[in-house]
Structure 1
């Protein structure tokens, strides 16, 4: 589940101790009332032990008992305050520890109109020439400005061939990891496939990879977020596969297939693996606060972020991201360091966060820490933020 530090209750303020002056004044008042009531109601001889005890001793005893109870209550409040603050601090530390979990990016693969692999897509982003073109949809109809993958226009088996390449790449990556590692699969598909066809895709991946792939019920970045929560204690692999091949695309859509292999431990077989830190869910109104959290999960200061990859109209068409960068003192050039993936490739929908991660992971070694800001669903206000770093760590290394 996402981390929300704002929901952790605040510490209680110091409990005020009894004020001595007030209690002394109260003592004088209660003694005066005791004397007046005794003089008013006393019918016998106004002398002796009984009279003076009733007039002064009894009010003093009552005051003393009330003072004792007040001090006992004060001590109980102090203990309650200390316990509350201790629980709040423990909860805050636990949430921060959860937020600082990350995964190692072992392999990324993207197929778009720009070509196969992240190298061709990075080259297209450097050129900054839009790949969008006006063409009739594959299902027919009015021409739409989008970026279709032309391999799928005439070959009915193009998807099967592409998935076989994904499965082969997946097999080669998993072959370098211990066979005992559990593998979890996040599969998102927006290609108009039937349930039977999707089952065939999953079966193909399992057969070709040679591993048992356990499908996660969550989708997108939420699946990664949940995997970091529920599978952190034991080494495991997270596999993301997202397919967007709409027969009837929307304006500015992009077709894409993106796959990614992540691991929650460092493997000596992948010395150049980079780190994908816990994604932080936000909306456009809370970007300032959540960018700060995303930096905190990665242990980064604002000046260390070298580039932001953004996708989704909630990010690209609104000024909140630029304002959030300014509020967090990110020293980025709006023209050179904030890359709009949609302006070049088009909007790849549910595949867009993984494309952004693949692009960032491809340049983080040379350029420094990267960040993504992705809106996977046009109808949703959810914006996922995540940092990618390339700092080396030597502990928690898997040895065969």
Structure 2
């Protein structure tokens, strides 16, 4: 569940000290009242007994005043102790939440394919260059296997996945093979006993049975020897849950997300992504590429909540806003673009629309279940090029879903 800092109560204020002049005035008033009452009510013989007279007229009021002062000082000490105890517990709670919120994962391997990848040996380099230049690969073209249906979308080129793979299951299998082959090498350097958790997300027209069959075949052919366990959840919510429940786990988290176009709407993208993530507290033996910090989701679809989520995502890094010069957008509904623009203008940094802003929805299209993952994979490669922190705004399949903000930072040599 999200780590909340905004519901921590404000620190208790220290109680105010007793006002010296008020108490001195109270003492003088008490002495005057005591003297007056003694003169008015005391017997005449008392005037001849100076010790008794002054004891009653001044001693008794002084004693009462002193008792009240002691009670006031005891109350002050009690209030001060209560405030200090509250603030100490508040500090412990805040420290605990900060430690929990600032848990992070290391990205130790990454692979992604889109329509910007031409399938050649230097395809990854060409792909990231295209994305950093906001070069659009969206175009009006026929849907795969349905020549009569033409719409504007991005599609894997034939050089990446052969068009002879007309069968969608075979096409999906080819994509699974692609991303797993890229991660097979780093996984081969680890023992076969290395625990491996799998978060698999696929969006296509195939049934779950056909998707599972394609995945099982691709996994068998990959040569990866580690046993896998499935992880429940979807998208960045699964990362948030992992950081809460398994941040000290020896297991690596393998994320695989594939989205194939269904030929039903404009502006969608095909994408295939694989990420291998390691808990920062548990060194995997692989050289980390970047740190993926806790994602923060807005609570309502408003500018104020999105701005709060962006600030909180940077705080989890922790980073000042001015440190971020590169922003990625992926899976953001057109209706939320104006909110993104307002948030970027409100952030006190160099982040401005059109400057260091990479909109994958404009260059590739909406990648559905792979939207957040392809932004993370692209930002990982970008961080390796410009050595700068990256801020990601991403959505999900449902355009009405709340947006996520995620910070990605490079890995310092000392941490590797």
Question: Do both share a fold (TM > 0.5)?
Answer: yes
In the alignment, which of 274, 287, 291 is matched to residue 275 of structure 1? 291
- The Cα offsets for residues 141-177 of structure 1, whole Å up to 9 and x where unpaired, read as 8643322447577224211232233334443332223
Q: Which of residues 132, 137, 146 is equivalent to 1:130?
A: 137
Paired position in structure 1 for 2:262: 247
Aligned pair partner of 1:155 in 143, 167, 171 = 167
Root-mean-square deviation (CA, aligned residues, Å) is 3.6
**Which residue of 184, 193, 199 maps to 1:186?**
199
* Corresponding residue to 2:409 among 352, 365, 389: 389
Is 1:218 the equivalent of 2:233?
yes
Structure 1 position 342, deviation (Å): 0.9
| 8 Å CA contact retained: 1:135, 1:146 | no
Q: Residue deviations 1:205-233, cap 9 Å, x none?
A: 76553323222222211211222232222
Q: Is the 8 A contact 1:145 1:251 kept in 2?
A: yes
Residues 360-379 of structure 1: per-residue CA shift (max 9 Å, x gap): 11122221212222122443
Provide the secondary structure at the position in 1 that maps to 2:337. Answer: coil
What is the alpha-carbon distance in structure 2 between the residues aligned to residue 69 and residue 140 of structure 1?
90
Q: Are the counterparts in 1 of residues 142 and 151 from structure 2 also a CA contact under 8 Å? A: yes
Once the two structures are overlaid, the 10-residue window that deviates more, 102-111 or 243-252, is 243-252
- Contact kept, 8 Å, 2:297 with 2:402, in 1: the verdict is yes
**Any gaps of 5 or more consecutive residues in structure 1?**
none
CA distance in 1, matches of 2:124, 2:266: 24
- For residues 48-74 of structure 1, the C-alpha deviation after alignment (integer angstroms, 9 at most, x for no partner) is 799987776555444433322221121
Query: How far apart in 2 are the matches of 1:113 and 1:271?
Result: 28
- Is the Cα–Cα contact under 8 Å of residues 15 and 77 in structure 1 kept in the other structure? yes
Are the equivalent residues in 2 in contact too, given 1:118–1:362 (CA < 8 A)? no
Q: Is the 8 A contact 1:350 1:377 kept in 2?
A: yes
Aligned with residue 103 of structure 1, among 92, 102, 105: 105
Q: TM-score, normalised to structure 2's length?
A: 0.79
Give the equivalent residue in structure 2 for 1:259: 274
Q: Cα deviation per residue 1:18-55 (whole Å; 9 max; x = unaligned)?
A: 22222333345556666777889x69888479998777
Structure 2 residue runs of 5 or longer lacking an equivalent are none
- In the TM superposition, 1:16-55 aligns within 5 A as 16-29=16-29, 47=46
1:184·1:215 contact (CA, 8 Å) conserved in 2?
yes
Paired with 2:219 and 2:66, the residues of 1 have a C-alpha distance of 79
Contact 1:285-1:320 at 8 Å conserved across structures: no
Q: Using the alignment, how far apart are the partners of 1:372 and 1:246 within structure 2?
A: 23
The alpha-carbon distance between structure 1 residues 44 and 308, as it changes in their structure 2 partners (threshold 3 A), is same
Deviation at 1:133, TM superposition (A): 2.0
CA distance in 1, matches of 2:153, 2:33: 89
Greater mean deviation of Cα atoms: 323-332 or 250-259: 323-332
User: SS at the partner of 2:100?
Assistant: helix
Give secondary structure in 1 for the equivalent of 2:178: helix
2:175 is equivalent to residue 173 of structure 1: no
Does the CA-based 8 Å contact 2:145-2:166 persist in structure 1?
no
Deviation track 1:96-152 (CA, whole Å, cap 9, x = no partner) reads 333333222222222333335744532432371332325457679864332244757
The normalised TM-score by structure 1 is: 0.82
Measured at CA, do residues 357 and 37 of structure 1 come closer, stay the same or move farther in structure 2, by a change above 3 Å?
Answer: same
Identify the residue that residue 361 of structure 1 maps to in structure 2: 380
1:133-144 maps to which residues of 2 (within 5 A)? 133-136=140-143, 143-144=150-151
Task: Please state how far the C-alpha of 1:15 moved relative to its aligned partner.
Answer: 1.4
Contact 2:138–2:152 (CA under 8 A) maintained in structure 1: no
Mark the CA change 1:324 to 1:233 in structure 2 (over 3 Å): closer, same or farther. Answer: same
Residues 130/149 of structure 1: CA separation in 2 closer, same or farther (3 Å cut): closer
